[in-house]
Structure 1
Amino acid sequence: MAYSFGNSTRSELEFSVSELTGALGDSVTVLPLIVALAATTTVSLPHVLIGFGVFQIVWGVYYGMPLSVEPMKALVGLAIVGSLSYPELAAAGLLAGGVLLAVGSLGLVDRLQRIVGEPVIRGVQFAVALLLLEAAIGLSAGNLSVAAGGLAVVVVLALVGYRHSSILAVLALGGIAAVISTGFPTPRLPELALFPAGSPTVSVAALEGTVAQLGMTLGNAAIATALLCGDLYDRDVSADSLSKSMGVTCLAAIPVGGVPMCHGSGGLAGKYAFGARTGGANVLLGVGYLALALVAAGALLAAFPMALLGVLLAVVALELGRAAFAPIDDGWVLALVVVVGVVGLAINVGIAFVLGAVAFWLRSRSA
């Protein structure tokens, strides 16, 4: 049964089985990434989950539709592989939040996207996918038999039509193994404090990561998501509005222990594919994240099998890489995406982004 309430300007909020299954469609990439981040940095997983829970609810109610709230994948991916410490990640997130709020308020999102170029953004996606895959191999190598078991679960579920659910299944298996090892933790509220995992640190790496992330965010989380709102939900949501809401999210969540967050076309499509049609899916998922934050103890996280975490990261990397290449039908664009990705893996994502943007600009001028 669906219960709903709403107003004349925004879609109703419904609470039904389809909204619940749709909510799970957005958690497929969120949970593996933040669990991996908590396992490899000083970030506090309960604080991160609270951030996701609160802003799932906030933007679900505000927009009245199942808008995605995801980690900023370039920044979080760089932190997972050790290119950014959590204090640097926090600084980069605050910088990105400030820029997103500013450009959205000034109506500059479409203009900035045209300057950067979509191929460069897709190249950054590919670079982050390669970095995550490299980290996944390193984690899986520690226990190949466990990694093989997790991979078998993914493959079997994918073959029978549950490709997205396979990630949640592996995550659940790892959680069960951790509970068996440590026992179920006593629920407790995380401490409230400013920057509980360390004060922001501005560095060259943080600045480079911010620039690379903004390219992805403007293209995927603002412009592409705005288009998808119209295509899937017949809603007129501007890219500038989404930019502002992402800026507010980062600036509000990071000081209390959160991570850089954005909207995303992939998460929105995932929610739609699994049945979500209203912001009720966000409310349900937000409540779930808040409940999970009560039991996300450090000992439980430490007992999570790292080899299974490697499998999760590998699946996320493949999904991100697939998204980077899916719409390409031009040889020059394909070459630029590959070059940006490989340079990002071999040298630095920030350098790859700048070189790619210059190449795109030169090509545009000569065309």
Structure 2
Amino acid sequence: MAYSPRLWNASGLEFSTAELTGALGDSVTVLPLLVALAATTSVSLPHVLVGFGVFQIVWGLYYGMPLSVEPMKALIGLAIVGSLSYPELAAAGLLAGGVLLALGNLGLVGRIQTVVGEPVIRGVQFAVALLLLEAAVGLSSGSLPTAVAGLAVVGMLAVVGYRQVSVLLVLGLGGSVAVVTAGLPAPQMPAPVLFPAGTPSLSGAALEGTVAQLGMTVGNAAIATALLCGDLYDRNVSPDTLSTSMGVTCLAAIPIGGIPMCHGSGGLAGKYAFGARTGGANIILGVGYLALALVATGALLAAFPLSILGVLLVVVALELARAAVSPVDGHRGIAVVVGVGIVGVAVNVGVAFVLGTVAFWFVSQRE
């Protein structure tokens, strides 16, 4: 029987050092993507941070454990590299939210993965990783010495086992440069405006991105996360329940300036690895995001060094690529992953997803 979380399940919340470090571990992959998105699109970073802050707190209380709230990486990656405008991103997020809400309520989440196949989903991840790596090179080219120095710091700390710390250090360095350049602004609450960065616009590119994202979301954010809830926290959470909560998140957050968000097995595992055991980590992180929203002005963002941003995207891209390739077994599965990734970069992710699904079906029939 699937676990049905009790609404506002605040019992057992802890606010310890372990919960704090777990919260910071989850922010490592989120903040670089948010800063990159805000630097390359018309998105309002303060409104995005409010969305993340609110839903970190909401789902921490609802599930009573440190469930992750992450950007939908396929859609966000496509927006960062210029394949989607913010209005298209918002439309894709609303569409994905509606589909996830419907799938969760109809109990259809598990069936999708059996049709698509894990190597295809991993291939989409690999394609987004390659696109982010391409964007990172472009951002870093403006100041190669700074980028090389940043990569050296990340590499050295990663070798000795402090990769998460290295990312926070580089992010903090870029933020410090921005504060020195633009000054620390007075705290200001983002204005409550409907679609502050532009009215959603559904296009062919948005539809293709949505299809690719849903494949990733069903596999990683619903099914894999549900399995981890049992493995790490001994909680029987249904993937359909997770799909429903992700649908609610997108449909509620995007109209107030948020971006497409999901749960994720990587974020949940990261929180656990760094000590988080309760929803207290979500409360801490949510309050942190809300505090950042008060000072994340356009001037401060414009002063953030693009070369440092490139370094952060390299780290995110490599982590995403590793997560895409490492779980896949067999030469044929790896071939599908790499093939989908290459087609995604050469053509687009939507076409790669469709062709990969067909290729995986043929490969499966021959086994």
Shorter-chain TM range is over 0.9
Aligned to 1:166: 166
How far apart are 1:240 and its partner, in Å?
Answer: 0.2
- Counterpart check, 1:33 vs 2:24: no
Aligned to 1:318: 318
Aligned to 2:78: 78
SS of 1:193's equivalent?
coil
- Counterpart check, 1:247 vs 2:247: yes
How far apart are 1:150 and its partner, in Å?
Answer: 1.1
Contact 1:197–1:257 (CA under 8 A) maintained in structure 2: yes
How far apart are 1:365 and its partner, in Å?
Answer: 3.4
Contact 2:22–2:272 (CA under 8 A) maintained in structure 1: yes
How far apart are 1:354 and its partner, in Å?
Answer: 0.2
Aligned to 2:211: 211
Q: Output the TM-score relative to the length of structure 1.
A: 0.97
The 2-side partners of 1:296 and 1:194 are apart by 19
Output one character per residue of 1:32-62: Cα deviation in whole Å (capped at 9) or x when no partner.
Answer: 0000000000000000000000000000000
How far apart are 1:158 and its partner, in Å?
Answer: 1.2
How far apart are 1:343 and its partner, in Å?
Answer: 0.3
Contact 1:66–1:271 (CA under 8 A) maintained in structure 2: yes
Aligned to 2:337: 337
The 2-side partners of 1:176 and 1:87 are apart by 31
Output one character per residue of 1:108-135: Cα deviation in whole Å (capped at 9) or x when no partner.
Answer: 0001111111000000000000000000
The 2-side partners of 1:164 and 1:11 are apart by 29
Aligned to 2:198: 198
Aligned to 1:87: 87
Aligned to 2:149: 149
SS of 2:167's equivalent?
helix
Aligned AA (2:311)? V
Aligned to 1:102: 102
Aligned AA (2:339)? V
Output one character per residue of 1:200-259: Cα deviation in whole Å (capped at 9) or x when no partner.
Answer: 000000000000000000000000000000000000100000000000000000000000
- Counterpart check, 1:46 vs 2:42: no
Aligned to 1:292: 292
Contact 1:13–1:278 (CA under 8 A) maintained in structure 2: yes
In structure 1, list runs of 5 or more residues that go unmatched.
1-5
- Worse overlay, 326-335 or 257-266: 326-335
Output one character per residue of 1:179-199: Cα deviation in whole Å (capped at 9) or x when no partner.
Answer: 000111111011111100000
The 1-side partners of 2:8 and 2:116 are apart by 38
Output one character per residue of 1:279-317: Cα deviation in whole Å (capped at 9) or x when no partner.
Answer: 000000000000000000100000000000000000000
How far apart are 1:11 and its partner, in Å?
Answer: 5.9
Aligned to 1:179: 179
The 1-side partners of 2:218 and 2:46 are apart by 28
How far apart are 1:157 and its partner, in Å?
Answer: 1.6
Output one character per residue of 1:137-160: Cα deviation in whole Å (capped at 9) or x when no partner.
Answer: 000011001111211221122123
Q: 1:16 to 1:7 in 2, by over 3 A?
A: farther
The 2-side partners of 1:197 and 1:24 are apart by 28
Aligned to 2:263: 263
Aligned AA (2:312)? L
The 1-side partners of 2:341 and 2:160 are apart by 32
Contact 2:9–2:63 (CA under 8 A) maintained in structure 1: no
How far apart are 1:177 and its partner, in Å?
Answer: 0.3
The 2-side partners of 1:8 and 1:197 are apart by 31
Aligned to 1:3: none
* Count of aligned pairs: 362
The 1-side partners of 2:130 and 2:366 are apart by 31
How far apart are 1:362 and its partner, in Å?
Answer: 2.4
Contact 1:101–1:246 (CA under 8 A) maintained in structure 2: yes
SS of 2:14's equivalent?
strand
Taking the TM superposition and a 5 Å limit, the aligned residue runs for 1:8-23 are 12-23=12-23
Aligned AA (1:252)? A
Give percent identity, aligned residues only: 77
Output one character per residue of 1:153-175: Cα deviation in whole Å (capped at 9) or x when no partner.
Answer: 21122123211121111110000
Aligned AA (2:179)? V
Aligned to 2:62: 62
SS of 1:208's equivalent?
helix
Q: Output the TM-score relative to the length of structure 2.
A: 0.97
Aligned to 1:224: 224
The 1-side partners of 2:261 and 2:329 are apart by 30
Aligned AA (1:326)? S
The 2-side partners of 1:73 and 1:152 are apart by 26
Contact 2:7–2:63 (CA under 8 A) maintained in structure 1: no
RMSD of Structure 2 on Structure 1 (CA): 1.3
The 2-side partners of 1:337 and 1:11 are apart by 42
